[in-house]
């Protein structure tokens, strides 16, 4: 195929492809080094983004991983997570994320910082497919002294690609231990509706792609349908990537339970997140809505 494109085209693309390969190699090397030194110092950090009810009551937060490469600078999780998955580094890195989340829960409890009921962490399908994932995760959380029910494990539909039965079994084991389970990015994967009804899920997260076009005056069949499915299956529905008040108002009309997005707050480092919580506590804006039981 390269030949068909002509000699000049090939020559044009070569240096570019080389630099892409170089950067990928450098990222992979950096990631390996960073994961290997996780015990001592770390170039990883968790940021936290609040999740609130549609009326503004605090529900919890999602932990989002950040990584700074020593020379390339900040690398987006959409770039380094796939590399961690392909190299198998995701298992150690994912365990660190859960350990860190537990440490923050303990710390915030000790300082009476109210961040809501639960803290969510993202779990890669590769982690879920690892035979030791359930045991290791249970041990990690127990040793940290955190109730599993305070942790939401965010899975994606691709978790099912390892085989439905295997994934189902793992999910039931996790739910049995007491973890909350959420399906992340819902609507972007391949899972059928019959699968969805069999999964022990507590929460359905509606992908941002269904949220960005929401307008109060426009009919929104897909978002409306997803909220409905979640509710009928007894799950909490959370909208991702809510950026405007009009999107929030539309989600309210549709009966969506909660939301997360820049409208409320962007993901913040732990210190700034706690400051945000405290400032919110002081102004207590949504207090009236909450008293009415929102």
Cβ proximity to ligand C2E, 124 vs 152, nearer residue: 124
Coil, helix or strand at residue 241: coil
Report the residue from 78, 165, 217, 291 that binds ligand C2E according to the rule CB under 6 A: 78
Identified binder of ligand C2E from the candidate list 192, 262, 269, 275, rule CB under 6 A? 262
Is 264 or 277 the residue whose CB approaches ligand C2E more closely? 264
By CB under 6 A, the count of residues binding ligand C2E is 23
C-alpha distances (whole Å) from 146 to each of 99, 101, 133 are: 10, 10, 17
Token pair recorded at residue 190: 């391949």
> Which residues inside 161-180 make contact with ligand C2E, applying CB under 6 A?
none
Tokens of 258: 């909660």
Q: Does 154 bind Mg ion (CB under 5 A)?
A: yes
- The least distance separating Mg ion from the CB of residue 17, rounded to whole angstroms, comes to 27
Least CB distance to Mg ion at residue 290 (A): 25
Residue at token pair 């305070």: 150
User: Which C-beta is closer to ligand C2E: that of 76 or that of 218?
Assistant: 76
* Contact partner, 226, from Mg ion, ligand C2E, none, Cβ < 5-8 Å per class: none
Identify the bridge partners of residue 61 per DSSP, sorted by sequence position. 50, 119
Partner whose footprint covers residue 60, from ligand C2E, Mg ion, none (CB < 5 to 8 Å by kind): none
Q: CB burial class (10 A; 0-12, 13-18, 19+) of residue 219?
A: exposed
Of 1-9, 76-84, 132-140, 275-283, the window that binds ligand C2E (rule: CB under 6 A) is: 76-84
Among 3, 11, 74, 76, which residue sits at the site for ligand C2E (rule: CB under 6 A)? 76
97-126 binders of Mg ion (CB under 5 A) = 122
Structure tokens belonging to residue 204: 């359905």
* Pick 100 or 240: Cβ nearer Mg ion: 240
Taking CB within 5 to 8 Å according to partner kind, which of Mg ion, ligand C2E, none is near residue 230? none
C-alpha 199/C-alpha 183 separation (Å) is 9
* Residue numbers 85-124 binding ligand C2E by CB under 6 A: 94, 97, 122, 124
Burial label for 189, CB within 10 Å (0-12, 13-18, 19+), is middle
- Residue 6 structure tokens: 């002509």
b/e per residue 171-187 (b: at least 16 CB within 10 A): bebbbebebbbbbbbbb
Residue 247 in contact with Mg ion, rule: CB under 5 A: no
Please tell me the distance from the alpha carbon of residue 124 to that of residue 84, in angstroms, as a whole number: 10
| Beta strand 118-122 pairing with 151-156 | parallel
Question: Which has the closest alpha carbon to 160: 119, 201, 121?
Answer: 201
Binding site for ligand C2E (CB under 6 A): 49, 64-65, 76-78, 81, 94, 97, 122, 124, 154, 184-185, 208, 240-243, 260-262, 267
Binding site for Mg ion (CB under 5 A): 122, 154, 184-185, 240
């Amino acid at each position: 195929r390269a030949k068909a494109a002509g000699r000049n085209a090939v020559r044009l693309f070569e240096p570019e492809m080389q630099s892409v390969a170089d950067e990928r190699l450098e990222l992979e090397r950096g990631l390996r080094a960073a994961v290997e030194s996780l015990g001592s110092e770390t170039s990883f950090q968790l940021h936290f983004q609040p999740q609130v009810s549609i009326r503004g009551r605090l529900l919890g937060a999602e932990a989002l991983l950040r990584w700074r490469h020593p020379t390339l600078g900040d690398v987006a999780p959409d770039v380094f997570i796939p590399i961690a998955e392909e190299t198998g580094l995701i298992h150690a890195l994912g365990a660190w994320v859960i350990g860190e989340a537990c440490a923050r829960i303990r710390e915030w409890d000790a300082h009476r910082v109210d961040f809501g009921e639960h803290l969510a962490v993202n779990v890669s399908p590769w982690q879920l497919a690892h035979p030791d994932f359930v045991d290791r995760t249970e041990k990690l959380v127990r040793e940290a002294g955190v109730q599993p029910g305070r942790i939401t494990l965010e899975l994606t539909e691709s978790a099912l690609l390892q085989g439905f039965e295997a994934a189902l079994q793992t999910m039931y084991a996790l739910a049995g231990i007491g973890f909350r389970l959420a399906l992340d990015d819902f609507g972007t994967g391949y899972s059928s509706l019959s699968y969805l009804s069999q999964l022990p899920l507590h929460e359905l997260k509606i992908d941002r792609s269904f949220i960005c076009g929401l307008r109060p005056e426009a009919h929104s069949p897909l978002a409306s349908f997803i909220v409905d499915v979640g509710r009928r299956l007894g799950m909490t529905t959370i909208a991702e990537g809510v950026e405007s008040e009009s999107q929030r108002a539309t989600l309210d009309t549709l009966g969506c339970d909660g939301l997360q997005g820049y409208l409320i707050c962007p993901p913040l480092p732990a210190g700034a997140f706690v400051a945000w919580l405290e400032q919110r506590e002081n102004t207590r804006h949504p207090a009236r809505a909450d008293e009415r039981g929102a």
